[in-house]
Amino acid sequence: MDSSTSHFSSDGSTALGTSSVPWWAVKLLGVAVSAWAVAALYTLQGNPEIAFFRRADALKREWSRAIGSGHTNRIIVFGGSSCLTSIVPRRMLEQHQLPTLNLGLGAGMGAQILTRYALDAVQPGDTLIVALEPGLLVRPSELEPLGVQFAVATGQPRLLSNGRRVDWLGALVGLRPGGYHVFTLLGKIILRQPLYRYARSELKEGGWHEVAARRDLGNPGVGKLTLSPEGKELLATIYRECQRRGVRVAYAFPWQFCVPEDLTATQREDLLFVREVAAVIPVLREPSLGAHAVREHFADTLLHPIGTAAALRTDELAQAVASWTVWTPEEVEARLSAGK
Amino acid sequence: MNFAELSFWEHLGVGLAIILSLRFVFLRIFPGKVEFYDKTALVVLGLALLLMVSVVAFVIYIALSVVTYVGLKWIQSRHPRHATKYLLVLVPMQLLPLFYYKYSDFVVNRVAGLDIETLRNLAIPIGISFHSFQLVGLAVDTLVFRHPIPSFLDSLIFGSYFPQLVAGPIERRADLLPQVERFRFRWRPRDIDEGATWIAVGLFFKCCLADNLAEYFHRGLANNAYQVWMANVLFGLRIYYDFAGYSLVALGLSRCFGIRLTLNFRSPYCSTDIGEFWRRWHITLSQWFRDYVYVPLGGGRVRFWALNILVVFIISGIWHGAGWNFVWWGVLHAVFLIIVRCSGKFVLPRPLAWALTMVAAFGAWLCFYELDTSVMLSKMAILLRPAAYSLSELKATMALYSPGDKIVLAGLGLLTLLTLGIEWLSVRRTDQPYAYLCKRPVVVVLVILTVLLAPGKNNGFIYFAF
């Protein structure tokens, strides 16, 4: 038996008393609870990312109320930040007469929370456009801390339920910043940069985000996409839920930047992904097939269009929704064969 | 039975509340049966926690325990003079489930080239490698050293003691069984205080360091030496803090119940030769292989000692997983150890010896995480090619990380270095690894850091897969 714990008795600073209460353990628990309380307070009140998404949520609710009074059969688009930055609700309404809610938030919240957020809003007769980033559908999905924090901060704990009972304790424990947030925050403070790269003033009417930041995008290359079992199950669940509730539903490929030389190859990879997705849920047939090769049309990431490009993306989606043309298996195969 | 998940602590709390409430009633009715109640309750608690994780693991564990106990009874009562010979029957029976779930696909399909579909993708029951080895140890120690067979209840606790059931430490009969035989549910404030410290340090290792490092470890198709080294270092640090963290929580939790477990790690990255590394890394497994494989083969006193080392490390590699990469990992470590042994009295300056040991240990992690042998060999070739260390390759590696990632990696790197530095100080000044990390003011800081920095995901333990 190893006696490596002997320093407990030999070291004055860790000497243990003979009390009938394990005071040291109690104090440690107290330290943990206090640290958590401070972390939770920061998360709910001070975290600039959460504050940004709270503002986005408020604007979306405001817009929903505004269009809700005069319109039925709304278009509800949801996804991560590519959706948040791509679809302009006012343009959908005024240019295309499509009363639209952009329920895009941040991909960091995870597919589960984003989906529940949208499903909570749909009503019979609505059209639901699933614009989840492929990245969310090709890996196992889990409840992401940012999503948990958003759900609690906006008073929507039902977003955590995922059809089961809400894990309240887990949700409360999740109200902590985490290593990535703390380290980047410290880095920004040291480098005297803004605490969050996006300002709340970038959020426009309807909760659409017009990105002000710009960054060199480099050459992203062509990636292979394969639907994960969890992604497939999520899409199937969305489809079933929409069928049950009388909601029309389809998947729309988010726009992503690729260099012009890779456009054909990227669209071919995207089409292979469409083939997988279309086996579960209808996929809107859009000419871009998720690839957009104009570098100047993107802001700070491959998935964030600038304002003018968001208008183009909005128009493309509006036309696809209005005509409701979806890929058939035969068309996908024919297109793939033609591209060989 | 994941200590990093809140659900484990919820289940444990509920289980203990039920056990202690029933104990109160039971002892009023059967005042003389406290030993029976406490031991039975501990078995039920351990098995219930295992059942919540995996039904298959639960069934296998019960079968293994029954086979071990009945086998020992039968051998000692019917063939006491030839007990050790019958080990040759009992031990393979104990290892049969382990072989089936972990190695049958590798041996039958990949080595023998047969194509048996049913053996593919068998899910390895959690903890099977650990409790199989612990029960083999119990059988060998009992029969070879002619110890009395423990009661069935004690042998069940010995194998199902929940803090160490799924990922060790692999305890020996002489260490754990006497404590099990004396076990009672008692209120031990001193033990709880000591246990809480180990749990706090363990959770810091696991949730704060390992889980954050996991975010940045990408096996990928690294094609330059810096990327491969980056992956090796991240993996090496992650697996250490993951497994050592688990072991420390197990040790602390067990301490709260009044049972001392063996410290499974002793700051291995403070080692100055590869032999020392193995005396500090996964100690209970190393001791198991030493006592049950290396020594019976003749140990280091025979002419073919180098072959013995090679055999032990190949088996150790295969214990970790069924794949040629694990064989390579074992072979590499055996070669390193043989070189150190052959170098005899040739002593390197301490910093240089430490640096070489770390290059060897972290370099070998490539064979551990890269399951595709051809990719592993090509990456190994990259590491050995001087041209792969050019400035442009370094720039290419740096470009893989966003500014935010670089800041986080720098912060994590600093925190990890600080922790390693404190471990090093503890080893150098007190020869007690983690002594300074267990100082009360330090533990308070660790608790705060864990609460603030734990990412709340990637919290599966790597060694659960073994």
* DSSP 8-state code for residue A209: B
Tens of pLDDT, residues B184-205: 998 999 999 999 999 999 999 9
Q: Tell how many helices (H) and how many strands (E) occur in chain B.
A: 20, 0
Question: What does the pLDDT read at residue B466?
Answer: 65
**How far off is chain A from B196, nearest CA to CA, in Å?**
5
Among the ranges given (A1-10, A47-56, A113-122), the one the predictor scored with the smallest mean pLDDT: A1-10
In chain B, what residues touch A31 (CB-CB under 8 Å)? 444, 447-448
| 3-class secondary structure, B280 | helix
Greater pLDDT, B458 or B394: B394
Question: What does the pLDDT read at residue A4?
Answer: 43
Q: Residue B173, Cβ neighbours under 10 Å: how many? A: 20
Greater pLDDT, B345 or A144: A144
Residues 6+ apart with CB under 8 A from A321: A75, A98, A127, A129, A284
Q: Which parts of A250-325 fold into alpha helices (H)?
A: 263-278, 307-323
Residues 6+ apart with CB under 8 A from B217: B231, B234, B235, B238, B369
Question: Cα–Cα distance between B45 and B14 in angstroms, integer?
Answer: 10
Nearest to B116 by CA among B126, B125, B106: B106
- Name the average pLDDT for chain B: 90
- Name the average pLDDT for chain A: 89
Helices B128-144 and B173-181, packing angle to 10 deg: 90
Q: What percent of chain B has pLDDT over 70?
A: 98
Residue B42: is its pLDDT beyond 90?
Answer: yes
**How far off is chain A from B10, nearest CA to CA, in Å?**
10
Tokens 């002489």 -> residue: B174
In chain B, what residues touch A144 (CB-CB under 8 Å)? 457
Cβ burial of B377 (10 Å; 0-12, 13-18, 19+) is middle
Joined tokens for residue B344: 């005899």
Among the ranges given (A55-64, A142-151, A194-203, B203-212), the one the predictor scored with the smallest mean pLDDT: A142-151
Question: Cα–Cα distance between A83 and B422 in angstroms, integer?
Answer: 47
Question: What does the pLDDT read at residue A319?
Answer: 95
Residues 6+ apart with CB under 8 A from A41: none
Residue B149: is its pLDDT beyond 60?
Answer: yes
Residue A21 and residue B189: Cβ atoms within 8 Å? Answer: yes
Residue B388 φ then ψ, to 5°: -75, -10
| A124: contact with B, CB 8 A cutoff | no
Question: Cα–Cα distance between B247 and B249 in angstroms, integer?
Answer: 5
Q: What is the number of residues in chain B?
A: 466
Question: What does the pLDDT read at residue A69?
Answer: 65
Question: Cα–Cα distance between A75 and A90 in angstroms, integer?
Answer: 12
Question: Cα–Cα distance between B388 and B381 in angstroms, integer?
Answer: 10
Residue A12: is its pLDDT beyond 50?
Answer: no
Among the ranges given (A264-278, A322-336, B64-78, B392-406), the one the predictor scored with the smallest mean pLDDT: B392-406
Residues B305-323, mean pLDDT to the nearest whole number: 92
Question: What does the pLDDT read at residue A150?
Answer: 94
Residue B6 and residue A169: Cβ atoms within 8 Å? Answer: yes
This model of the complex carries an ipTM of 0.87
Residues 6+ apart with CB under 8 A from A203: A52, A55, A56, A59, A209
Residue A19: is its pLDDT beyond 80?
Answer: no
Residues A274-296, mean pLDDT to the nearest whole number: 93
- Looking at residue B75, its amino acid is I
Helix (H) / strand (E) element for A105: namely none
Q: What is the DSSP string of B37-69?
A: HHHHHHHHHHHHHHHHH-HHHHHHHHHHHHHHH
Question: Cα–Cα distance between B199 and B396 in angstroms, integer?
Answer: 40
Q: How confident is the model at residue B95 (pLDDT cuts 50, 70, 90)?
A: very high
Q: How confident is the model at residue A7 (pLDDT cuts 50, 70, 90)?
A: very low
Region of B403 (left: φ > 0; alpha: ψ -120 to 50; beta: rest) is alpha
Residue B54: is its pLDDT beyond 60?
Answer: yes
Nearest to B423 by CA among B248, B270, B317: B270
The alpha carbon dihedral of A102, A108, A112, A116 has a sign of negative
Question: What does the pLDDT read at residue A2?
Answer: 41
Question: Cα–Cα distance between A269 and A225 in angstroms, integer?
Answer: 7
**How far off is chain A from B427, nearest CA to CA, in Å?**
11
Cβ burial of A194 (10 Å; 0-12, 13-18, 19+) is exposed
Among the ranges given (A26-40, B135-149, B440-454), the one the predictor scored with the smallest mean pLDDT: B135-149
Question: Cα–Cα distance between A178 and A164 in angstroms, integer?
Answer: 26
| A170: contact with B, CB 8 A cutoff | yes
The model carries a pTM of: 0.87
Tens of pLDDT, residues B275-303: 999 999 999 999 999 999 999 999 888 99
Residue B459: is its pLDDT beyond 80?
Answer: no
Beta strands A127-130 and A75-78, pairing class = parallel
Helices A307-323 and A89-96, packing angle to 10 deg: 50
Helices A23-41 and B440-453, packing angle to 10 deg: 30
Question: In this structure, are residues A228 and A138 in contact, taking their beta carbons and an 8 Å threshold?
Answer: yes
Residue B404 and residue A32: Cβ atoms within 8 Å? Answer: no
In chain A, what residues touch B10 (CB-CB under 8 Å)? 169
Mutate to test the interface with B, among A21, A28, A196, A300 (most CBs of B within 10 A): A28
Q: What percent of chain B has pLDDT over 90?
A: 65
Residue A5: is its pLDDT beyond 50?
Answer: no
Question: Cα–Cα distance between A59 and A318 in angstroms, integer?
Answer: 21
- What is the count of residue pairs from A and B with beta carbons less than 8 Å apart? 136
Question: Cα–Cα distance between B295 and A119 in angstroms, integer?
Answer: 64
- Among A32, A36, A183, the residue with its CB nearest the CB of B412 is A183
Tens of pLDDT, residues A109-166: 999 999 999 999 999 999 999 999 999 999 877 788 899 999 999 998 888 886 667 7
**How far off is chain B from A26, nearest CA to CA, in Å?**
8
Joined tokens for residue A180: 């990535």
Residues 6+ apart with CB under 8 A from B212: A179, A180, B408, B412, B453, B454, B455
Residue B209: is its pLDDT beyond 70?
Answer: yes
Q: How confident is the model at residue A8 (pLDDT cuts 50, 70, 90)?
A: very low
Question: In this structure, are residues A252 and A270 in contact, taking their beta carbons and an 8 Å threshold?
Answer: no
Question: What does the pLDDT read at residue A134?
Answer: 94
Residue A180 and residue B408: Cβ atoms within 8 Å? Answer: yes
**How far off is chain A from B14, nearest CA to CA, in Å?**
14
Question: What does the pLDDT read at residue A37?
Answer: 96
Q: How confident is the model at residue B219 (pLDDT cuts 50, 70, 90)?
A: low
Question: What does the pLDDT read at residue A16?
Answer: 44
Residues B205-219, mean pLDDT to the nearest whole number: 89
Residue B438 and residue A186: Cβ atoms within 8 Å? Answer: no
Joined tokens for residue B180: 């099990």
Per-domain residue ranges for chain B? 6-185, 190-465
- Among B196, B404, B430, the residue with its CB nearest the CB of A24 is B196
Nearest to B452 by CA among A306, A172, A176: A176
First-to-last C-alpha distance (Å) of chain A: 67
| A322: contact with B, CB 8 A cutoff | no
The alpha carbon dihedral of A311, A312, A315, A317 has a sign of negative
Residue A216: is its pLDDT beyond 90?
Answer: no
Question: Cα–Cα distance between B72 and B57 in angstroms, integer?
Answer: 22
Can you list the pairs that B9-14 forms with residues at least 24 positions away whose Cβ atoms lie under 8 Å? Answer: B10/A169, B11/B48, B11/B49, B11/B52, B12/B45, B12/B49
Question: What does the pLDDT read at residue B79?
Answer: 80
Joined tokens for residue A157: 């704990």
Question: Cα–Cα distance between B337 and B278 in angstroms, integer?
Answer: 9
Among chain B residues, CA nearest to A300: B402
Residues A274-279, mean pLDDT to the nearest whole number: 94
In chain A, what residues touch B433 (CB-CB under 8 Å)? 4
Residue A193: is its pLDDT beyond 70?
Answer: yes
